[in-house]
Structure 1
Amino acid sequence: MKPNLITKITLCGFLLNGLYSQAQSKLEVNTSKTITKIEPTMYGVFFEDINFAADGGLYAEMVKNRSFEFDDRLMGWKQPKSDKHNYNTESGIAVPVQFSQKGTNHNYCRVTVKDAKGYEIINEGFRGMGVKSGAKYNLTLKAANQSGTISKIIVQLIDKDNKVLGESSIAVSGNSWKEYTTQLTSNATEAKAKLRFTFEGTGVIDLDMISMFPEDTWKGRKNGMRKDLVQLLYDMQPGFLRFPGGCIVEGRTLAQRYQWKKSVGAVEDREILINRWNTEFEHKPTPDYFQSFGLGFFEYFQLSEDIGASPLPILSCGMACQFNTGELVPMDKLDPYVQDAIDLIEFANGGTDTPWGKVRSDMGHPKPFNLKFIGVGNEQWGPDYIERFKVFEKAIKSKYPNITIVSGSGPFPEGDYFEYAQTELKKLNAEIVDEHYYKSPEWFRKNVTRYDNYDRKGPKIFAGEYAAQSVAIASPENKNNWECAFSEAAFMTGMERNAEVVHLTSYAPLFAHEEGWQWTPDMIWFNNLESFGTPNYYVQKMFANNKGTDLLAITQDGKALIGQNDLFASAVKDTNTKEVIVKLVNTSAKAQDISIDLKGTKLESKGKIITLASSDLNDENSFSNPKKLSPKESEYTLKGEKAALNLPAYSVTILKLKIK
């Protein structure tokens, strides 16, 4: 019995080894032959003011409705109440006053203090104010003492239980408007802090532009950006920054469109506008969502420069959102919209002797921003868009022939709208066409070959908005789970393999506030104190940090690896870092062994391997576990010209090898 049993076990072993050998994927990379150059803009970021991404997010202002310009003039502000009245007017009352219907800053707040010990006015911030122990916060306000004996404003940071976390005061005098400043230091960390004002003396005092920023902003800029959020963008090494949207560009109506000229100059002169996302979805109404434009076009250009990204502004083409009113500017009244585009290029690139170049210079940036791209429209569709695009293109090219114009193909990656746009834009020799896709994870895996047959002589592609939807587009139940992330990675190998056609790509949306969001999924989540990158973020970062400069062929049996055995891959060379970089995505539930034959260039034996993996399709990162799914890096030793790798189930792997 024993010899027979041993024979059977040995035979099984040989059979298993044979199956194992057959199952192993053997790949080839020609490291010396460049297929095409990879654009520096291949992987970028798309910013839109959705999900409290600007006010309450990236823009570090902590006071909501700082200039009393919201539709409800005192939204965000609280004052004493009584059982009988909405406001306890016995101690005092704050009343918004409209002093002008012209210009941009129309209102201020008139505070009547009858009982200095009983009256207070409190700002609640954006779902609270996040303050950190030992951190400093700079407060500014404008005040005018109208009558009475008010000599001092006491300013306090308080927690959710009204305990004082930090205090300062401002001595006020005179009945003309003056700007006052002070600094508060918090003695504790609190996510739901508020800002309280009390008074010494009684009388009437007017207040306006009450503003508070952390001292520790990105690059230490006064009234600047939230440091942790910019750091996450900087770490991605993005090739471009697209701004300010998105549907925010179009507006629900033309009057509510984004007008860049209203977003530059002195902050207090920038006109506040209701945010189009505040009532867009019944599942998440946010009636307190407005745009202060403190984060305006100058700041977007500056942010682009700060993170090493090429600026890509998108402008209204005279069409309101076609999912809303679809309001159109008549063709004979389109000139002001076109002029906005011409003037924006001058604002970004013009000399200080030009009108808009001087505006930029006066804001603190005499040097041009080196704008190379401009987008006309967001995701408009149909003949009305094409007709307007022609006018913009002719005007821009006649004055600025070197500016590359980005056009749009509508909101969907297929169908009548898409096909019409593609046909018409190709006739016009459009330079770059923006495509959007919010689809299921399965769609991303099945469409890896989307660009394989695109015309190499036709328009280049900007994959301007994409994200795998775990449930359905616009569903509040969408998750930033691992299946969505690695499915996007698989699709990205297809975009990278087609770098001759695909020149820019960006996930969307970028940011979401834990409590103020409207749309999911989103790449980066934050609350008032913390932020974290989703698995989707780490996929984007892995590709962007390793985009390379030259596309190489990676094949199996002479064919591109586009899903055989649930494997997807792309390969590049980086002439700057002198590396060969191979990206591999295993979408199978089983680990897989592969062998890569690296031909053409001699490589160092020591390299790196970066892996992002989870066996759970539903894994997510969170505030409690922000790096549950994050890349792990280790050394790799190459033996000869063949790299042997074990790819974990459901994984994204990057192999980096130095060129000798």
Structure 2
Amino acid sequence: MISFKSIIKGNIILFLLFPEFAHSQASILPATPVAPFSHPAKRISADLFGVFFEDLSYAADGGLYAELIQNRSFEYSASDRKGWNSLTNWEYTTEGFGYGTISVETSQPINANNPHYVVLNIDDPGQNGVGITNLGYDGIRLKKGERYNFSAYINQISSKAIPVEVKLCGRKGEVYSVFKFNTSGRGWRKYTSSMSVKRSTDSAVLTLVARQKSKLALDEISLFPQETFKNEANGLRADLAQTIADLKPKFVRFPGGCLVHGDGVNNIYRWKNTIGPVENRIQQRNIWSYHQSVGLGFYEYFRFCEDIGAKPLPVIAAGVSCQNSGGTWVIGSTGQKALPFTEMKSYIQDILDLIEYANGPVTSTWGAKRAAAGHPKPFHLQYIGIGNEDKQTDAFRSRFKMIYDELRAKHPEITIVGTVGPSPNGEDYNLGWDFANRLAVPVVDEHFYETPRWFLDNNNRYDNYSRARSHVYIGEYASQGTKLINALSEAAFMTSLERNGDVVKMASYAPLLANLNHTSWNPNLIYFNNDTLVRTANYYVQQLFSVNEGDTYIPNIISFERDQSAKDSTLASSCVRDSKTGDVILKIVNAGPTAAVAKVNLSLLNVTGDLIVSKILTGNPNDQNSIDHPAVVIPISTRVKLTDLDSFLSPAYSLTVIRFSAKSNQHHVSN
């Protein structure tokens, strides 16, 4: 155990995370001392800190979704990305003097939703056969001793059975695993195998070849690690999913983001296209200029939420597309398109069907589909988001109101989350709030990507929000970087969210995941490649808050002593109580360049013991984690005495979380 004094003395940057303690909260105070926040103790939202997932930067395919074959069903096209086609990421394989032809066809698909497939016409198999090779997502990562589930749909067009060989091998020909079988008749049939791997590599490929003169069709070629998160079928990459689970989020917002309302009305995300057998799902272009296999669909999202104990928060387009449709990423312009009013009835029915899919009995139409997928119990859907930072136009408002009125009438138990534009101020923000107030929308979604200075200067943003109007969901926020100073500015702001946890219903940092080889947005909470991942300093701040949540905010506990000539409002603190454990949790943020004294008023708390558990995240302001150096900024554990809290020295550039036992406080708690 490292002493607190040694941390300050040695300016230690390296920390060891123990997520069972940790969660942070504080209230920034100006440089000139003022009276502590004087409102009574208040209840904090039970769903305050969660996560937001959007499929950008290859967060789903090639990321959280564990499928290792890219373009497995030959549905890539030039509309996804310039230069792409049905054979993108595939190579025609004719080793050992074999030859034949390859074609992409659509006349006899597995089903109409999956129209493209490959036909191999082998004139001479040569020594090693003729077939195709998939390159994976920047290669296929394999681990020695682990097993991988292969599957493929094959239509034996020739009259006789065809010997087929599937190999996992290196780019130089080294073989890691082989599966051999014969086709068993004409028509589309699914062939499967579990393949064990002899050695580890991060750059394997999968090759499928026919070993005799023949003709066959191929589609939906898949390779999954057998070890997925919670061993779910069609599941998630275990390390990424576990890293999200370690945040202990109270909710998961999905599937976006701009992804939801899409690039034009024909690109609006339709949840019904993403459920059922994967070969029957309808794939489409991603607004971020790549392809969605929708293997990670609404069933998988719901299942993931359940696996990590988080509430699902699906977001549905409000009948309009993104205002940036057609590439009009210019402030004030709008490419927003709207569904015709004649289509709104069926569109609204889709949303009602989503609620039935999530919550309906197995005897209902959509509850039966959920049960058929393997989940007869409901998913306990409580929230639905309608719209995503939409431009406030008449087209948007009229369609939002149609959806809102119908859902309120038929499902009053569902909490609807509205939207007030992409920025923390401005025309769309003001118009959006006016509209939400007129409709009495229960919760509205605010977004802001701002500088660290903005987060420090806006710590009091929600102090004076009217408690009589809509609650707030901060659906997307980040301080434009992953250095320690970025994370600390967010920590300071998060203390204000706890202080205002009666009006701020939920908050989620965004974006969540980014593939280092395909990053289309920065910053992100977690970066990854095929081999590993890195938790940013921002990640540890989110974790320290989320695993140390309280349900009551207690005012008048922490105050600061600091030179009155200081120009920065870089100090923040909060005190919350967890009624389930009886613990009191202090969060102290110092985002400034000098140490500061925090005075904890223990007389207002009924402390029951001497044991204090402390976590500290500190270092130099420009420190940040990377794939090569993933542990530059991580929390460390330390101990302090209760007597230390009379004049607690908060190091420069630090977040400290202190947790100890105390009896229920005697102050009035407001609801």
Contact 2:559-2:598 at 8 Å conserved across structures: no
Match of 2:651 in 1: 648
Task: Give per-residue Cα distances to partners, 1:500-545, cap 9 Å, x unaligned.
Answer: 1101000011100110221111101111121121111111011111
Match of 1:312 in 2: 313
For residues 353-502 of structure 1, the aligned pairs below 5 Å read 353-382=363-392, 383-470=394-481, 480-502=482-504
User: Is 1:194 equivalent to 2:202 in the alignment?
Assistant: no
User: Is 1:610 equivalent to 2:623 in the alignment?
Assistant: no
SS at match of 2:61: coil
Aligned with 1:566 (options 566, 570, 583): 570
Match of 2:669 in 1: none
Task: Give per-residue Cα distances to partners, 1:31-77, cap 9 Å, x unaligned.
Answer: xx962211121000001011111111111001111111222111111
Whole-angstrom distance in 2 between the partners of 1:565 and 1:517: 33
CA, structure 1 residues 504+173, in 2 after alignment: closer, same or farther (shift >3 Å)?
same
**Per-residue deviation, 1:564:** 7.0
For residues 49-448 of structure 1, the aligned pairs below 5 Å read 49-71=55-77, 72-80=85-93, 91-99=99-107, 103-116=112-125, 117=127, 119-147=130-158, 151-278=162-289, 289-324=290-325, 325-382=335-392, 383-448=394-459
**Per-residue deviation, 1:232:** 0.8
Match of 2:330 in 1: none
TM-score scaled to structure 1, two decimals? 0.88
- For 2:113, give the aligned amino acid: T
CA, structure 1 residues 332+150, in 2 after alignment: closer, same or farther (shift >3 Å)?
closer
Identity %: 36
Whole-angstrom distance in 1 between the partners of 2:292 and 2:58: 9
Whole-angstrom distance in 2 between the partners of 1:103 and 1:453: 55
Task: Give per-residue Cα distances to partners, 1:422-451, cap 9 Å, x unaligned.
Answer: 112112111100000011111111111111
SS at match of 2:120: strand
- For 2:613, give the aligned amino acid: K
SS at match of 1:78: strand
- Matched positions, count: 609
Range 73-82 or range 249-258, more displaced = 73-82
- For 2:115, give the aligned amino acid: H
**Per-residue deviation, 1:173:** 2.7
CA, structure 1 residues 24+594, in 2 after alignment: closer, same or farther (shift >3 Å)?
farther
Whole-angstrom distance in 1 between the partners of 2:104 and 2:358: 37
**Per-residue deviation, 1:336:** 1.9
Match of 2:592 in 1: 588
Whole-angstrom distance in 2 between the partners of 1:54 and 1:201: 37
Whole-angstrom distance in 2 between the partners of 1:105 and 1:538: 42
SS at match of 1:211: strand
SS at match of 1:458: coil
**Per-residue deviation, 1:551:** 1.0
Contact 1:38-1:547 at 8 Å conserved across structures: no
Whole-angstrom distance in 1 between the partners of 2:43 and 2:74: 52
- For 1:114, give the aligned amino acid: D
**Per-residue deviation, 1:115:** 3.1
Match of 1:14 in 2: none
Q: Name structure 2 gaps, 5 residues minimum.
A: 1-30, 78-84, 326-334, 664-671
Contact 1:26-1:597 at 8 Å conserved across structures: no
Range 124-133 or range 347-356, more displaced = 124-133
SS at match of 1:134: coil
- For 2:123, give the aligned amino acid: K
Whole-angstrom distance in 2 between the partners of 1:182 and 1:345: 37
Match of 2:81 in 1: none
- For 1:291, give the aligned amino acid: Q
**Per-residue deviation, 1:92:** 2.2
Higher relative contact order (CA 8 A, sep 6+): 2
Contact 1:28-1:599 at 8 Å conserved across structures: no
Contact 1:99-1:108 at 8 Å conserved across structures: no
Match of 1:509 in 2: 511
Contact 2:421-2:432 at 8 Å conserved across structures: yes
Task: Give per-residue Cα distances to partners, 1:265-307, cap 9 Å, x unaligned.
Answer: 11110011111101xxxxxxxxxx3111111111111111111
Contact 2:557-2:602 at 8 Å conserved across structures: no
User: Is 1:518 equivalent to 2:528 in the alignment?
Assistant: no
- For 1:420, give the aligned amino acid: L
Whole-angstrom distance in 1 between the partners of 2:632 and 2:213: 55
Task: Give per-residue Cα distances to partners, 1:139-163, cap 9 Å, x unaligned.
Answer: 0111122227663221111223332
Whole-angstrom distance in 2 between the partners of 1:194 and 1:43: 40
- For 2:293, give the aligned amino acid: S
CA, structure 1 residues 89+391, in 2 after alignment: closer, same or farther (shift >3 Å)?
farther
Task: Give per-residue Cα distances to partners, 1:559-591, cap 9 Å, x unaligned.
Answer: 9x9997621111100001111101111011122
CA, structure 1 residues 557+496, in 2 after alignment: closer, same or farther (shift >3 Å)?
closer
Contact 2:57-2:514 at 8 Å conserved across structures: yes
**Per-residue deviation, 1:209:** 1.2
Whole-angstrom distance in 2 between the partners of 1:586 and 1:264: 47
CA, structure 1 residues 241+437, in 2 after alignment: closer, same or farther (shift >3 Å)?
same
CA, structure 1 residues 557+221, in 2 after alignment: closer, same or farther (shift >3 Å)?
closer
Whole-angstrom distance in 1 between the partners of 2:574 and 2:558: 12
TM-score scaled to structure 2, two decimals? 0.87
Range 600-609 or range 429-438, more displaced = 600-609
- For 1:320, give the aligned amino acid: S
Whole-angstrom distance in 2 between the partners of 1:290 and 1:100: 23
- For 2:371, give the aligned amino acid: S
Contact 1:589-1:650 at 8 Å conserved across structures: yes
- For 2:413, give the aligned amino acid: N
